[in-house]
Amino acid sequence: MTLEEILQIEARNVDCIFLYQEEGAWYAYEHSAFYCYSLLGILDIDWLPCPDGVSSGQKTIRVRVSEPDKFLCTPLLRLMRKRKTEYVVLCKISCGGFYYWREQQQMKFRVLQERESSCTKINEHAE
């Protein structure tokens, strides 16, 4: 499944975690990432450029989920569908605040990028 297709699903997602296997690892995007963060405490967050035509200049938030079978024991989650490269998990509780959380994560990401950029400039001047 392409990132553009995933983002179309996530745009309508209000109560599920969609997990996708990519290069041997499992990932959740956007709203699914928020549920993983809120319900499971998953903090392995990164940002990807949005595909052309989806959202100009914006990034896509993604979390890495290690061992998705383990978190299915959580009583708030119910497995709806499992395929070789995809899980669909129903969340029995609704978590509000996605847009606030996303903005907070984006601000943290920007600060880290600025720090890295500053450190790189300092190191270049030191050499």
Paired tokens of 60: 């896509």
Residues 27, 29, 34, 35: is their CA dihedral positive or negative? Answer: negative
Q: Identify the CA nearest to 36 among candidates 13, 65, 7, 67.
A: 65
The predicted pLDDT at position 8 comes to 93
Kindly report the pTM of this predicted structure. 0.77
Residue span of the structural domain in which 83 resides: 3-95
In a domain, 66, yes or no: yes
Can you name the residues that pair with 87 across neighbouring β-strands? 19, 82
43 within 8 A of 62, measured Cβ to Cβ:
no
In the chain, how many domains are there?
A: 1
In a domain, 124, yes or no: no
In a domain, 89, yes or no: yes
In a domain, 109, yes or no: no
- Reported as a single tens digit per residue, the pLDDT across 16-61 is 999 999 999 999 999 999 998 888 888 788 888 877 655 556 789 9
Q: Identify the CA nearest to 32 among candidates 68, 83, 75.
A: 68
In a domain, 114, yes or no: no
In a domain, 11, yes or no: yes
